[in-house]
């Protein structure tokens, strides 16, 4: 019997039938005329994808340029630093920088900005106390003028031996203490209404000290005028 010279066909199971069988070959190599072509124009495909992405909410369109590397972005953010040529120039540059910083802080302190104020002047309650004291006229703010007048009167021999100056000093102290107690009590009551829970310790003395200062010399500078409603 002559040997079998026909090509050996391997048979194994696979998707779509038995691989190596005519049925599998027909399934793989047949022409799909009803299907759409798989290769599309790249330009048209990119345009369609861009338009579709633009129509979908929450989708960011392409920038049209490559994203820069991190090193390039950092290089662009860096600004050139011109180092001084010698120690004298460096010291002058440092003094100028400190002078500018002090001037900026001084202006902010005069305006009453909280970040530039000393610790004793910070907080909304202290600001309220300053505004309340600055919004009213009082005898206490002329305290320094009254003291100056009393010192001048001490050089008069007739008045020095009498008790007039002593009574004047007592009357002045009584007026200052009375105004300080009244103003401090009103500030504390107003602070408790507007800023409940804030610490009001020392507010009475704080308001009294500011009330005895000349208006033009008060720091921070007054933000309100006499008669303004607080």
HEC string of the chain? Answer: CCCCCCCCCCCEEECCEEECCHHHHHHHHCCCCCCCCCCCCHHHHHHHHHHHHHHCCCCCCCCCCCCCCHHHHHHHHCCCCCCCCCHHHHHHHHHHHHHHHHHHHHHHHHHCCHHHCCHHHCCHHHHHHHHHHHCCCCCHHHHHHHHHHHHHHCCCHHHHHCCHHHHHHHHHHHHHHHHHHHHHHHHHHHHHHHCCCCCCCCHHHHHHHHHCCCHHHCCCCCCCCCCCCC
Sequence ranges of the domains in the chain: 119-217
For residue range 130-147, list pLDDT tens digits in order.
999 999 999 999 989 998
Q: Looking at residue 58, what is its pLDDT? A: 47
Query: Which pLDDT belongs to residue 73?
Result: 66
Peptide bond into 220 cis (omega under 30): yes
Q: Is the Cβ–Cβ distance between 226 and 137 less than 8 Å? A: yes
- The CA-atom distances, in angstroms, between 145 and each of 54, 141, 148, 149 are 77, 9, 5, 6
- What is the torsional sign of CA 138, 144, 149, 151? positive
Q: What is the pLDDT of residues 81-116, one digit of tens each?
A: 566 677 888 888 888 889 999 999 889 888 888 889
Q: Is the pLDDT of residue 55 over 60?
A: no
The CB density around residue 122, as the number of other CB atoms within 10 Å, is: 13
Contact (Cβ atoms closer than 8 angstroms) between residue 28 and residue 19? no
For the beta carbon of residue 207, count every other beta carbon within 10 angstroms.
Answer: 25
Q: Given this model, what pLDDT does residue 17 score?
A: 47
pTM: 0.58
Q: How many CB atoms lie within 10 A of CB 45?
A: 11
């Amino acid at each position: 019997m002559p040997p079998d010279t026909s090509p050996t066909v391997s048979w194994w199971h696979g998707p779509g039938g038995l691989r190596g069988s005519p049925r599998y070959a027909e399934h793989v190599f047949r022409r799909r005329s009803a299907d759409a072509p798989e290769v599309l124009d790249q330009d048209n495909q990119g345009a369609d994808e861009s338009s579709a992405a633009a129509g979908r909410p929450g989708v960011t369109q392409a920038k049209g340029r490559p994203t820069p590397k991190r090193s390039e972005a950092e290089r662009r953010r860096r600004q050139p630093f011109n180092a001084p040529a010698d120690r004298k120039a460096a010291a002058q540059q440092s003094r100028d920088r400190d002078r500018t910083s002090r001037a900026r802080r001084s202006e902010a302190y005069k305006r009453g900005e909280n970040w530039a104020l000393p610790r004793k002047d910070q907080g909304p309650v202290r600001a309220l106390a300053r505004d309340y004291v600055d919004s009213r006229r009082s005898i206490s703010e002329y305290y320094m003028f009254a003291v100056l007048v009393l010192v001048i009167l001490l050089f008069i021999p007739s008045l020095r031996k009498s008790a007039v100056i002593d009574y004047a000093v007592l009357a002045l102290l009584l007026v200052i203490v009375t105004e300080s107690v009244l103003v401090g009590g009103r500030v504390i009551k107003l602070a408790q209404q507007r800023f409940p829970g804030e610490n009001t310790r020392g507010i009475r003395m704080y308001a009294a000290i500011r009330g005895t200062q000349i208006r033009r010399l008060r720091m921070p500078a007054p933000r309100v005028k006499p008669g303004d409603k607080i």
